[in-house]
Structure 1
Amino acid sequence: MASDSGHDDAQYLAGSTVRVAILRALDRKPRRPASLTDAVDATRTTVQRILAGFRERRWVVKRDGAYHVTPTGERVHDAYENLLSEIDRADRFGRFAAGLERAGAEFPAEGLETGELTAATDRDPLAALDRLVELIRTIRGSDVRAVSPIVTTQYNEAAAAALDAGAEIELIIDREVLETSITEFGPATDRALSDEGATVYVSPDPIEYGLFRYDDVACVVSYDGHNNPRCVFESTDRTVVRWADERFEALSETAAPLSAVVQEPSASRE
């Protein structure tokens, strides 16, 4: 169990972005106070006060006018950076899991520890979409099984490139996606009907998450309430792969071939 002093020191460091910036700067190389003032954009008085706090905690020592991180300071720095990484990971994986839970996908919780996650951020809102398109484009001659709650130009172009490269694609969509495909992406719909490498099924129920299976890889995509892809989770873990295959089979049991559905009046082109 951590001591009270350890908690106080952690609170001291986390309580100021300038303290963190100074410890990071010193972890890279020894610096004099004037150099730190320029590096972290703080006043000399603030830098001197923080350095005094670091020396009191034995995180730094002063030699020849420059401040050096001690082994204790290095451990504090590394532990703090690891904590920030874990918090970021927990946030991203938490958003992914929440999206699947909202969709009722029953994703195995133990599978979260087995893969890599690409998550959209405010700085890069298209990160998840770009990663999924990249994966589809790189398929060469593989059998692909996919489920998608949306249709986009990027998806269609990537799928066309995969088909041209010899991939065999089985895709499950829902009726809303079908209607969008017919009205907005006619040529892609025509190819889905005529290309022997493409087999498309239409689910009678709304689909709220995505799957992408090829070789020994399972990719799971979670979406926000506006059907924007937010997270792409990639794993080769058997539990995740088996779950993805079972979900695909369950959806395909109630889905109908695209050719049968487009003949219905509700799916006719206007």
Structure 2
Amino acid sequence: MNSALDDVAFLALSENRIALLAGLSDDQAHTRDELMDATDVSRPTLGRILDDLEERAWITQYGQEAQITSLGAWVHDEFTDLLEMMDTARRLRAVEQWLSTDTLAFELKRLTDATVTLPSQNNPLAPMHRASELERTARQSRVLTHALPAPCLNAHWEAITTGTQQFEAVVTPNVVATMTDTAHRSQFTDILTADQATVYVCDDPIPDVVGINDGVVYFGVDDDKGAPLALIETGDETVHTWAAETFESYQEGALLLTPDSFSEIQETTSDSEQLMELESIENPQ
């Protein structure tokens, strides 16, 4: 026990030591039998670990009982935070190069409590599906996005038309153009005509999909081809402030999209498609 690193290694190299310290973290005295039941270690192993913890002044022992010290509680809390941070960092490895650190104006340590949804072989669209789950159940939803895939559109449409969601969105012109397709047009029109929904169109590029659903922030991580790599969600207050300010900054420079203006866009899109069809007929390849 020569350095702080030795103490870190002492905990890190044994799940049983961490489990025992955690079992004592409620600041109550526990018998050795209780600790054996809670941690599933043998009596000799339990005795050795308790002696080692007591040597570091992290616990005190009274006969067959042990209790954490204030120093031990501090060590437990800080080491648990370190483990949570390292677990988040491990899950972010696959998407680190795609994180837009220029636009995500907060320190990555704010994501210590974050939930990271990654694609899997069985569910390659897991991030998108998780986003739609959050959006379907939210009573207050704000979304800043350059894409509105069918699962997310369906989720908002269902919540808005049943009257369970207040919805605000800032989208790019590309999203609006996509919504003119017959597969999406009816649902998007229902959203625009709903009293509890407002949609704005912003000409500025929106690099990251950001949502705020009942105080929980999510943002998507895409690769350079737009494929979803991860969905990161957190209740961190600093991230929430960043998300709200980012949404409002785009909203300030955006134009309100009304049912009438959307109808005009549909007509313009239809005229353009007809012109392209005529050109293809007149100029066959």
Fold-level similarity (TM above 0.5):
yes
Query: Aligned in 2, Cα 1:263/1:115: closer, same or farther, shift over 3 Å?
Result: farther
Q: Which moved more, 1:22-31 or 1:110-119?
A: 110-119
Q: Which amino acid aligns with 2:8?
A: A
Is the Cα contact below 8 Å between 2:25 and 2:68 reproduced in 1?
A: yes
For the residue of structure 2 that corresponds to 1:52, the secondary structure is helix
**Aligned equivalents of 2:167, 2:155: Cα separation in 1:** 14
Q: What SS is found at the alignment partner of 2:30?
A: coil
Aligned in 2, Cα 1:233/1:152: closer, same or farther, shift over 3 Å?
farther
Unmatched tracts of structure 1, length 5 or more: none
Q: Does 1:107 align with 2:110?
A: no
Q: 1:171-182 maps to which residues of 2 (within 5 A)?
A: 171-172=171-172, 174=174, 178=178, 182=181
CA-atom RMSD, angstroms? 4.8
Native 8 Å contact 2:212 2:243 kept in 1? no
Q: Which residue of 2 aligns with 1:34?
A: 33
Q: Secondary structure at the match of 1:62?
A: strand
The equivalent residue for 1:120 is 116
| In 2: Cα distance, 1:94 partner to 1:247 partner | 30
Match of 1:58, SS? coil
Q: CA deviation at 1:224?
A: 4.0
In the alignment, the residues of structure 1 paired with residue 33 and residue 44 of structure 2 have an alpha-carbon distance, to the nearest angstrom, of 10
Q: For residues 40-72 of structure 1, give each alpha carbon's deviation from its aligned partner in whole angstroms, at most 9, with x where no partner exists.
A: 112222212211211222222221321122232
**Partners in 1 of 2:228 and 2:86 — Cα distance?**
26
Letter in 2 for 1:138: Q
- The residue that corresponds to 2:53 in the other structure is 54
Secondary structure at the residue paired with 2:187? helix
- Per mean C-alpha deviation after superposition, the further-off stretch among 75-84 and 5-14 is 75-84
Q: Does 1:162 align with 2:160?
A: yes
Q: Does 1:230 find its partner at 2:231?
A: yes
- Please tell me whether the aligned partners of residues 88 and 112 of structure 2 are also in contact (alpha carbons under 8 angstroms): no
Q: Is the 8 A contact 1:170 1:199 kept in 2?
A: yes
* Counterpart contact for 2:157–2:187, Cα < 8 Å: no
Question: Does the 8 A contact of 1:147 with 1:248 survive in 2?
Answer: no
Q: 1:167 to 1:24 in 2, by over 3 A?
A: closer
Relative to structure 1, the CA distance from residue 208 to residue 42 in structure 2 (aligned partners, 3 Å threshold; closer, same or farther) is: same
Distance (Å, rounded) in 2 between the aligned partners of 1:51 and 1:218: 40
Q: 1:111 to 1:133 in 2, by over 3 A?
A: farther
C-alpha offsets along residues 172-221 of structure 1, whole Å, 9 cap, x if unaligned?
36369827x7364453255468779665759898x76324589xx99662
TM-aligned CA deviation for residue 160 of structure 1: 5.6
Is the CA contact 1:150–1:177 (under 8 Å) kept in the aligned structure 2?
no
Deviations 1:208-264 (A, max 9, x none): 6324589xx996621344336602467564x65554455567898xxx964233543
Determine what percentage of the aligned residue pairs are the same residue.
19
| Within-5 A mapping of 1:1-270 | 4-28=2-26, 29-88=28-87, 99-101=98-100, 106-110=102-106, 119-121=115-117, 127-135=130-138, 137-138=139-140, 146-159=144-157, 161-162=159-160, 171-172=171-172, 174=174, 178=178, 182=181, 184-189=183-188, 191=190, 209-212=208-211, 221-225=219-223, 226-227=227-228, 230-232=231-233, 235=239, 237=241, 241-247=244-250, 258-259=265-266, 260-265=268-273
Inter-partner Cα distance in structure 1 for 2:270 and 2:102:
31
CA distance in 2 between counterparts of 1:116 and 1:12 reads 23
TM-score by length of 2: 0.62
1:96 and 1:230 in contact (8 A); partners too: no
Aligned residues: 249
Contact 2:208 2:219 in 1 (8 A): yes
Q: Which runs of 5+ in 2 are unaligned?
A: 119-125, 256-260, 278-285
Provide the C-alpha distance between the structure 2 equivalents of 1:200 and 1:163, rounded to a whole number of angstroms.
19
CA drift of 1:73 comes to: 1.7
Distance 1:117 1:72 in 2: 24
The structure-2 alpha-carbon separation of the partners of 1:121 and 1:36, relative to structure 1 and needing over 3 Å to count, comes to: farther
Alpha-carbon shift at residue 132 of structure 1 (Å): 3.7
Task: Provide the secondary structure at the position in 2 that maps to 1:46.
Answer: helix
